[in-house]
Amino acid sequence: MATYLPQEILALIVEHVCALPEKESQVKLTDYTLVNKYWQAAFERQIWSSVTLLSPSGIEVVTSRSGEQYKKRGLHFADLERLTSGSENWQLARRDFLRDICYRVAVPRFLDDGDGVEDEEAEYIDDYVFTRENDLAFTKGMSQLFNHLSTWTKQKRKLSLSIVLQAEKGNLDNEECEIDEAIDCRSLPYRAELPEDCHLSTVQFVASLSFPTRFEDNNNGISLSAALRIAASCGGQALERPEMGGNYGFRPEQCDMQCQMRDSVSQNLARLPASLRVLEFDWDWPPDPSGYCQDETPPPIKTQVDALSASLRGTLSHLQRLCVEGMEVSTELFFHLQSTAQPSSLSWQHLEVLELRAIPWFTPSGHGLNYYNTESFEQVFATSYFDELFTCIGHAALKMTRIKQLLLIYESNCEGLGEIELHLGVQHGQAQLKFHSENGYIPPSEVLQAWQVPQDRLEDCGNGWSRFEYDRWPLEWLTNFACSVKVSTGNSCCGPRFRSHNFFLIPVLQYQELIKHICHCFAVNLIQG
């Protein structure tokens, strides 16, 4: 074998060997590094570019849920420490080679969702011995990883980090099953948590963070609250886009547990680095309201302060994209309910995409958006709640100067509810606002006024759809223009027409007419002194 080759030829060999399927490759990649230092450097660059890292554990052979046993595969954490710790050039080079780490955190058990249909009356429990043991192992593994990565102070390359749980025992044994059955409850799908007293070291160079789920049934994941705390420990300006899950499996009657989780997530949202530009997560599976006891009173229009919505509103100040699925929505997401400021004082100057999909027909506090009227003995749709929500969104949308898509979808299979959708699409400086309802909901005048849509200009498109087209977007520049005229003339504004609400109907005029109107008001102001 030729040991000394031009770098171009050696690079082709590395590319060919690394592209071979594992079954066709008769030699391990690490064996090629033994040829000489040139081959070592060439192959280590490829070998270390993507690493499956195993958290410290005394178990080498794991048992799958089907009972099969197999040996763990990946780089042991102790080997990573030995090969990358220190200031030697070869240690620094291996750190620099790293582009992608898939960290498999060893936990003792795979925990199935105990939500059985045969025992619907059993109470939920979110804390018992097996979840505590898994959480303890998860916390230990995460602390060890971040403690080690935080020592890489001279790291120049950005790193992609994915974190997944690896259960070392697929099913509970007989003794453990007896303990599990003795607890008369239904467990939620297991989501690993970090305790409040856990403080992860800060890592400056993680640019991408994800928490993939290894199994189709979506059990044994990592909680959204824990994922946010991990993302918050990726300090600096590197992290731009974390991919996170949720899917806690709450039922509407468990509103106390859900509120507790929403509060926990909201606290950790505030810790996210300002470099974050994209945030996407699935909150829950939208429940079907028909399966639960319905309220006999309408939900409160002025909802209580929702900490999660308030935290998301703060995060929107620096996000370009927010996509959430399955989360109850409050007006607090768009307007501070305890503030004396007007909605127009808020700003989302970077936001381009806001998507809220599969929203359950419940408020964050657990009130259903349809209720049973005891006088008429009919199901009643809470239109006033949507009136208030869509009005707040309208005021907020006018401050989203870079928005390209705003989408809000309520979904339900329950008869009489169906789907309600609000969609704003902006393209090439023009915008189209669309409403869709499968239960007869029609946006009232206060909603249209918030969106600056004249009452008679909302077009009925049939099949529950209605739309309005804006000549240009954003509309906010008109308000800014009026303020600039106020400064230049020293007057309150450009005359009484600008001080009236009619000013906000100007965007529906043609461009030439708009300029004439502004110039006329400006001239009148000057003449009147």
Q: What band does 61 get if pLDDT is binned at 50, 70 and 90?
A: confident
Name the helix (H) or strand (E) containing 427: strand 420-427
- What pLDDT, in 10s, does the model give residues 434-470? 999 988 889 999 999 999 999 889 999 999 999 999 9
> CB 442: neighbour CB atoms within 10 A?
12
- Residue ranges of the alpha helices (H) in 333-382? none
CA–CA separation, 452 and 468 (whole Å): 10
The Cα-based distances of 412 to 285, 286, 287, 420, 434 in angstroms read: 11, 8, 8, 9, 19
Closest CA to 311 of 300, 299, 322, 326: 322
Average confidence (pLDDT) over 26-42? 61
- What pLDDT, in 10s, does the model give residues 124-143? 455 567 888 999 999 999 99
In this structure, what token pair is assigned to residue 354?
């806001």
Say which residue the tokens 């994941």 belong to: 221
Strand 405-410 to strand 353-359: parallel, antiparallel, or no bridges (unpaired)?
A: parallel
**3-class secondary structure for 387-401?**
HHHHHHHHHHHCCCC
Residue 403 has pLDDT above 60, yes or no: yes
Question: Do 336 and 347 form a contact (C-beta atoms < 8 A)?
Answer: no
pLDDT at position 307: 87
Average confidence (pLDDT) over 98-110? 90
- Confidence (pTM): 0.75
Question: Do 475 and 508 form a contact (C-beta atoms < 8 A)?
Answer: no
Q: What band does 119 get if pLDDT is binned at 50, 70 and 90?
A: very low
The residue ranges of every structural domain in the chain are 275-284+300-474, 476-527
Exposure string over 295-329, b if 16+ CB within 10 A, otherwise e: beebbeeebeebbbbbbbbebbebbbbbebbbbbb
- What pLDDT, in 10s, does the model give residues 169-223? 766 554 455 454 444 444 567 889 999 899 999 998 898 899 987 554 456 789 8
The Cα-based distances of 396 to 331, 387, 479, 512 in angstroms read: 10, 14, 14, 28
Closest CA to 380 of 332, 439, 340: 439
CA–CA separation, 321 and 19 (whole Å): 35
More confident residue, 87 or 114: 87
Amino acid symbol at 391: T
Q: Please give the angle made by the CA atoms of 219, 242 and 352, to the nearest 5 degrees.
A: 120
Cross-strand bridge partners of residue 355? 323, 407
CA–CA separation, 484 and 490 (whole Å): 10
Q: What is the DSSP string of 229-245?
A: HHHHTS-TT---EEEE-
Phi/psi for 51 (5° steps) reads -130, 135
Amino acid symbol at 201: S
pLDDT at position 446: 93
CA–CA separation, 163 and 148 (whole Å): 15
**3-class secondary structure for 278-298?**
EEEEECCCCCCHHHCCCCCCC
